[in-house]
């Protein structure tokens, strides 16, 4: 594993970022009304959270969460174990809905939803509360209670958020699985988490087609040893959904008829709230565990600070609830803050490439939070799709998932934001629970490509190979040196991996896995991963995970997977494989791609697969990934290749360019 910043330039945009010196201050107009409107305000919050964290977080938690029973100590921290708001009792579902109903805001719209075919629904906070309670009542009838794991594999319908919050209501633990993963991946996650209930829908709309979700789930359930029941939402219709008697039940049969009165259960602060699987540097995805109070508070406060939330905003996060962004910034953050959220089910280019802009215009969206890969697709599709629509309702834009390259930043700023909307480039991870570094839109002059500064409570350190703080201009490994309420509490079922992965390199500090540098203004620039994780269209994938999928094909002997720069995806997946004596042709190539799709899901399908007689290895037998990255990117070979075991193999790979 290599950790030099130069090596991390796989994303392709770092060169531009290194020379970026434009500065975009927030407008006086925006600053005037902002939640955090002066630099002094930020600095005093930051200093308070750093110097007197207990007092700071005690006040935050008391003010911004509902407590059935008060907590005692604020934080107990002995790396890697963090406990927050000890002994207190709260409930994330209560904070998301009941709190607003109790406060007389029950009629405010919580979710405006639009399906891909154009169907629409709105749910007020009161209606959402009832739906969540009904779903929780159904869970209880299905034998689900506190501590049980519920796997959710659903389209982006309100029921997805309802299913999550119904878990939170009774202390069940949700594990949402993005609806693009394969049956194999679902089964792996179900088994790892010992899921008891699975929730899905008959189908999912994607670009006008129906994908048979239930069929995939059926396949997964054949291999899921712990799942007892399957709850199925009717979304796409049709009579052909197979239902296994005794196991499968329809949502409309068991949820709709419930009274909807079940109160939120008071739960200990550290009650597990959810598991979310994400890729790390080994083959097996890990179940990141978040718990109730700390996560909920972090999601809420970071939402309010970064998105400058006001009561009349129409906020739209375009992520899917299958990822952490959907958890924190579609569900827990905005709902706890009492926001009105737009939720959209489908693809950005269906029925046409202006779908997002049509939605912004129609619902008068004020805050838009999306990913650089989407922005780059919009640029490619052409300005005419944007020009057709009135986007003057927008006042703030957000970006997440990967660094936003300055070209995309400028287009987003000018074309979508009309030059008037600040852009918040938010850096964070599944593990961090919520945003860690981001501009605050009322005060932070932005630099395209930089996530600027840490939020209150986040103390970053840049360290070298052996954990010493370094001259930050040159960059190094990014660590966080104090606990924060939203931090992960573990890897499900694997405490050893939890310590090794995050707390061993620099004892007592959280290792993010990213490289970063800090410039003279104290701004942070994220420079890519230090491990074998690649970022494909904002989705985290482990190269080893894809390699394992490839070698599970009977005709593949060895595989090496690397990321290569891609204009749209940020990184594309390039695979190098050695094979048995099977003939190499297009059919084999297609078969291999399909095989990876089947093993992991469409998002992991390699963009290129190259066949070779041997992989380049060092004398000690390690695959030379840096070299393969250069080959994949079509770059001149860099670095010292004198330790190559088989120079001929590299020459052969190059010939295929
Ligand atoms: C990358 C997504 C640069 C980073 C919320 C991180 C970013 C990984 C940014 C986490 C950003 C995310 N600038 N890089 N604004 N946002 N990343 O867990 O490498 O899916 O470690 O969480 O994405 O991905 P994850």
The residue contributing the CA closest to ligand 1 atom 4 is: 402
Closest CA to 515 of 503, 531, 526: 526
The residue contributing the CA closest to ligand 1 atom 22 is: 429
Distance (angstroms) between ligand 1 centre and the Cα of 404 equals 11
Write out the binding residues for ATP.
401-403, 425-430, 514, 529, 540
Scan for tokens 């309420």, then name that residue: 485
Write out the binding residues for CoA.
206-209, 325, 349, 537, 597
Q: In this predicted complex, what is the ipTM?
A: 1.00
**Please, where are the H alpha helices in 52-144?**
53-64, 92-93, 99-102, 125-141
At 619 the pLDDT is 77
Ligand 1 neighbours, Cβ below 6 Å, are: 278, 323-325, 400-403, 425-430, 451, 512-514, 526, 529, 535, 540
Distance CA 122, CA 108 (A): 10
- The count of other CB atoms within 10 Å of the CB of residue 461 is 21
CB 540 within 8 A of CB 528: no
Question: Which residues on adjacent β-strands are paired with residue 90?
Answer: 267
At 281 the pLDDT is 77
Write out the binding residues for Mg(2+).
551, 553, 556
Question: Which residues on adjacent β-strands are paired with residue 289?
Answer: 275, 490
The residue contributing the CA closest to ligand 1 atom 15 is: 427
With residue 175 as reference, give the H or E element that holds it.
Answer: strand 173-176
At 620 the pLDDT is 80
CB 265 within 8 A of CB 170: yes
- 3-state SS of 471-539 is CCCCCEEEEECCCCCCCCCEECCCHHHHHHHHCCCCCCCEEEEEEEEECCCCCEEEEEECCCEEEECCE
Token digits of residue 568: 């749209």
Distance (angstroms) between ligand 1 centre and the Cα of 94 equals 29
CATH number of 532-655: 3.30.300.30
Residue 99 has, within 13 A of its CA and on its CB side, a CA count of 20
Q: Is 96 helix (H, G, I), strand (E, B) or coil?
A: helix
Question: Which residues on adjacent β-strands are paired with residue 514?
Answer: 529
The distance in angstroms from the start CA to the end CA of the chain is 26
Domains 92-265 and 532-655 share a fold: no
Go through the chain and tell me how many residues it has.
Answer: 657
Distance (angstroms) between ligand 1 centre and the Cα of 400 equals 7
CB 284 within 8 A of CB 600: no
Query: Residues 617, 623, 626, 627: is their CA dihedral positive or negative?
Result: positive
The residue contributing the CA closest to ligand 1 atom 24 is: 429
Say if pTM beats, i.e. exceeds, 0.90.
Answer: yes
**What CATH fold (topology level) applies to the domain 92-265?**
Rossmann fold (3.40.50)
* pLDDT per 10-residue tile (average), the chain, 657 residues: 33 54 89 94 98 98 98 97 98 98 98 98 98 98 98 98 99 98 98 98 96 97 98 92 96 98 98 96 89 99 98 98 98 98 97 98 98 96 98 98 94 97 98 98 96 98 91 88 98 96 93 95 94 92 94 95 94 94 93 96 95 85 86 72 55 57
Distance CA 475, CA 473 (A): 6
Distance (angstroms) between ligand 1 centre and the Cα of 535 equals 8
Distance CA 37, CA 47 (A): 16
For ligand 1, mutation pick of 403, 434, 513, 532 (most atoms within 8 Å of CB): 403
For ligand 1, mutation pick of 12, 428, 569 (most atoms within 8 Å of CB): 428
Domain boundaries, the chain: 2-90+272-528, 92-265, 532-655
- Given its phi and psi angles, is residue 12 left (phi above 0), alpha (psi -120 to 50 degrees) or beta? left
Determine the atom of ligand 1 nearest the C-alpha atom of 451.
Answer: 15
CA quadruple 552, 556, 562, 564: dihedral, nearest 10? -120
Distance CA 215, CA 218 (A): 5
Query: Residues 562, 13, 511, 168: is their CA dihedral positive or negative?
Result: negative
Phi, psi for 95 (deg, rounded to 5): -65, -30
Distance CA 97, CA 134 (A): 14
At 6 the pLDDT is 33
Distance CA 125, CA 108 (A): 6
**Beta strand 460-463 pairing with 396-400:** unpaired
Write out the binding residues.
206-209, 325, 349, 401-403, 425-430, 514, 529, 537, 540, 551, 553, 556, 597
Token digits of residue 173: 């633990």
The CATH number of 2-90+272-528 is which of 3.40.50.12780, 3.40.50.1370, 3.40.50.620, 3.90.1580.10? Answer: 3.40.50.12780
At 16 the pLDDT is 55
């Amino acid at each position: 594993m290599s950790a030099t910043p130069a090596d991390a330039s796989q994303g392709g945009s770092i060169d531009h970022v290194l020379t970026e010196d434009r500065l975009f201050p927030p407008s006086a107009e925006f600053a005037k009304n902002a939640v955090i409107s002066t630099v002094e305000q930020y600095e005093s919050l930051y200093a308070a959270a750093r110097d007197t964290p207990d007092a700071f977080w005690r006040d935050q938690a008391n003010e911004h969460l509902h407590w059935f029973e008060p907590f005692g100590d604020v934080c107990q921290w002995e790396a890697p174990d963090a406990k927050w708001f000890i002994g207190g009792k709260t409930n994330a579902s209560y904070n998301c809905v009941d709190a607003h109903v109790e406060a007389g805001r029950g009629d405010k719209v919580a979710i405006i939803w639009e399906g891909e075919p154009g169907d629409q629904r709105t749910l007020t906070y009161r209606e959402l509360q009832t739906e969540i309670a009904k779903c929780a009542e159904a869970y209880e009838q299905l034998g689900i209670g506190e501590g049980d794991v519920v796997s959710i594999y659903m389209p982006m319908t309100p029921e997805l958020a309802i299913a999550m919050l119904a878990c939170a209501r009774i202390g069940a633990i949700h594990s949402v699985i993005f609806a693009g993963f394969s049956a194999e991946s679902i089964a792996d996650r179900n088994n790892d988490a010992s899921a008891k209930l699975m929730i899905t829908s008959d189908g999912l709309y994607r670009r006008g087609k129906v994908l048979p979700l239930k069929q995939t789930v059926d396949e997964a359930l054949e291999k899921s040893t712990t799942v007892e029941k399957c709850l199925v939402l009717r979304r796409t219709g049709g009579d052909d959904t197979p239902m296994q008697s005794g196991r499968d039940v329809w949502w409309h049969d068991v949820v709709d008829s419930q009274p909807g009165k079940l109160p939120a259960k008071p739960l200990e602060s550290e009650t597990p709230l959810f598991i979310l699987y994400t890729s790390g540097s080994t083959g097996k995805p890990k179940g990141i565990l978040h718990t109730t109070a700390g996560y909920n508070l972090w999601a809420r406060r970071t939402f309010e600070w970064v998105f400058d939330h006001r009561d009349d905003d129409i906020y739209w996060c375009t992520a899917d609830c299958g990822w952490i962004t959907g958890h924190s910034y579609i569900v827990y953050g905005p709902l706890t803050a009492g926001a009105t959220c737009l939720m959209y089910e489908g693809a950005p280019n269906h029925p046409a490439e202006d779908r997002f802009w049509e939605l912004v215009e129609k619902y008068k969206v004020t805050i838009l939070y999306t990913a650089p890969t989407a922005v780059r697709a919009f640029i490619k599709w052409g300005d005419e799709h944007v020009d057709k629509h009135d986007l003057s309702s927008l006042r703030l834009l957000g970006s997440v998932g990967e660094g936003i390259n300055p070209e995309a930043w400028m287009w987003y700023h000018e074309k979508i934001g009309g030059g008037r909307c600040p852009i918040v480039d938010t850096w964070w991870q599944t593990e961090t629970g919520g945003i860690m570094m981001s501009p605050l839109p009322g005060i932070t002059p932005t630099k395209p490509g930089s996530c600027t500064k840490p939020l209150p409570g986040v103390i970053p350190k840049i360290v070298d190979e052996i954990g010493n703080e370094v001259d930050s201009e040159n960059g190094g490994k990014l660590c966080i040196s104090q606990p924060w309420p939203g931090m992960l509490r573990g890897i499900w079922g694997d405490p050893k991996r939890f310590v090794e992965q995050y707390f061993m390199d620099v004892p007592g500090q959280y290792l993010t896995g990213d490289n970063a540098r800090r410039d003279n203004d104290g701004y942070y620039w994220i420079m890519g991963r230090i491990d074998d994780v690649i970022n494909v269209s904002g989705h985290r994938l482990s190269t080893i995970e894809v390699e394992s999928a490839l070698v599970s094909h009977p005709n593949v002997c060895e595989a090496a997977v690397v990321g290569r720069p891609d204009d749209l995806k940020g990184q594309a997946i390039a695979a190098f494989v050695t094979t048995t004596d099977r003939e190499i042709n297009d059919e084999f190539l297609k078969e291999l791609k399909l095989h990876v799709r089947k093993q992991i899901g469409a998002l992991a399908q390699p963009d290129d697969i190259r066949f070779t007689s041997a992989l380049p290895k060092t004398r000690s037998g390690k695959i030379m990934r840096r070299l393969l990255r250069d080959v994949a990117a079509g770059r001149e070979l860099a670095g010292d290749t004198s330790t190559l075991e088989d120079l001929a193999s590299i020459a052969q790979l190059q010939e295929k360019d």
